[in-house]
Amino acid sequence: MLSRPCTYAIRALSYLAMQPPGKLTGSREISGHEDIPNSFLCKILLDLRRKRLLRSYKGTGGGYELALPPEKINLLMIVQAIEGEVSFSGCILEDKECSAHGECALHHSWLELRNQLVNFLETQTLVDLVRTRQARRKKGPKARYQEPVQIKDQMGDLSVKASA
C-alpha cells in the first residue's frame, strides 16, 4: 500500500521520536534497530532532511534528530516527502487526472475514499505511533526524561554544525 522507502521513513522517524530530546542518533543505530539497509536509509534520511522533517549533523557525535516536535509531524507529511506531492491525485481508471476530460466512472466514490485516506494520514502523528510502540514494548516506564547529550541550534539552511 505504501512504498518501501515510505514505510522505512515512517519507521525511522518514529524511532527518532522515541529518542530523548536533544540526542543525536546515527543512521547506523536507526538501521540496526529498525532493520533497514543502512545505505538505503541514508538516502531516505537525506530526502527527509531536504523536506525539513529532520536535521543532520556531520562528524564525531553527529547524527539525526527531528526538526519538529513529534506531534507536529503527521504521516501525510512523511509520505509526501518521500513520494512527492503527486500522490493520491490520480484516478482509478486512467493515468491522467480524470477531472480534466470529464469524470471517470468511479470518480466520486473513489474521491471520497481517497479523502478518508488522506485524512487518516493527516491525523496520525509520530506521537501516536510512538505511544503504541512503547505501550507494546513493555508496560514499562514511559518516556523517562533523559539528560540531553547536546544542545544545538540550527546554523545553516540545510546542513548545520553540531556544536553547542
Q: From residue 115, give the alpha-carbon distance in Å to each of 103, 108, 121.
A: 17, 11, 10
Q: Nearest distance from residue 128's CB to a second copy, in Å? A: 7
Near a second copy in 43-82, by CB under 8 A: none
Q: Pick from DNA, a second copy, none: which does 5 bind, CB < 5 to 8 A by kind?
A: DNA
Near DNA in 6-35, by CB under 7 A: 8, 26-28
Rule CB under 8 A: choose which of 59, 84, 102, 140 binds a second copy. Answer: 102
Q: Nearest distance from residue 2's CB to DNA, in Å? A: 9
Instruction: Write the DSSP symbol of residue 20.
Output: P
89 by Cβ neighbours in 10 Å (0-12 / 13-18 / 19+) ranks as exposed
Residues in contact with DNA, total (CB under 7 A)? 31
Region of residue 81 (phi > 0: left; psi between -120 and 50: alpha; otherwise: beta): alpha
CA distance 45 to 52: 10
Indicate whether 93 belongs to the interface with a second copy (CB under 8 A).
Answer: yes
List CB contacts of 37: < 8 A, sequence separation 6 or more. Answer: 31
Indicate whether 115 belongs to the interface with a second copy (CB under 8 A).
Answer: no
Binding window for a second copy (CB under 8 A); candidates: 20-28, 56-64, 129-137, 145-153: 129-137
Indicate whether 31 belongs to the interface with a second copy (CB under 8 A).
Answer: no
Rule CB under 7 A: choose which of 15, 19, 57, 125 binds DNA. Answer: 57
Q: Which residues pair with 55 in a beta bridge?
A: 65
Residues in contact with a second copy, total (CB under 8 A)? 30
Q: Nearest distance from residue 23's CB to a second copy, in Å? A: 21
Q: From residue 113, give the alpha-carbon distance in Å to each of 77, 86, 87, 94, 158.
A: 19, 17, 14, 17, 36
